[in-house]
Amino acid sequence: MSNDLDTVFAALADPTRRAILAMLLEDDMAVTDVAEPFEMSLAAISKHLVILTKAGLISQEKRGRVKWCKLEPDALRAASVWMQGFGQFEPVNLDAFERFLETELPTPDEA
């Protein structure tokens, strides 16, 4: 299971791949349509799609002469379950933390 999680998180680490997944939330898309909004070659997009496919996050199928991509949301289930294990911690209140630092740390002119 660790290898599967590693593969999913590695695939999610890239902003282009996350953008592709967000696009596929809407509907299945042809590879050329997936590539359209990005300023990179079709070959570069294809490499991203291979990584997403190997991670199980998308599937690809040929319909006639066109290759289509489909989101596979179940692949995120194990990653989601793993991350929920960290839900036991209280979220950090950044505003309160900043106020604490302001009162506890000397300002540059005091140092």
Asked whether the predicted pLDDT for residue 14 surpasses 90, the reply is: yes
Which of 5-19, 49-63, 80-94 is least confident? 80-94
Q: Which residue matches tokens 């990584």?
A: 51
Q: Where are the domains of the chain?
A: 2-104
Q: Check residue 102 and give its pLDDT.
A: 75
C-alpha distances in angstroms, 5 versus 34, 37, 58, 76? 25, 28, 15, 9
Q: Check residue 82 and give its pLDDT.
A: 81
Which has more pLDDT, 78 or 47? 47
Exposed/middle/buried for residue 13 (C-beta within 10 Å: 0-12, 13-18, 19+): exposed
CATH 1.20.20.10 is right for the domain spanning 2-104 = no
The tokens describing 53, both together, are 């496919």
The candidate with the shortest Cα–Cα distance to 57, out of 73, 80, 78, is 73
Which pLDDT band, with edges at 50, 70 and 90, does 88 fall under?
low
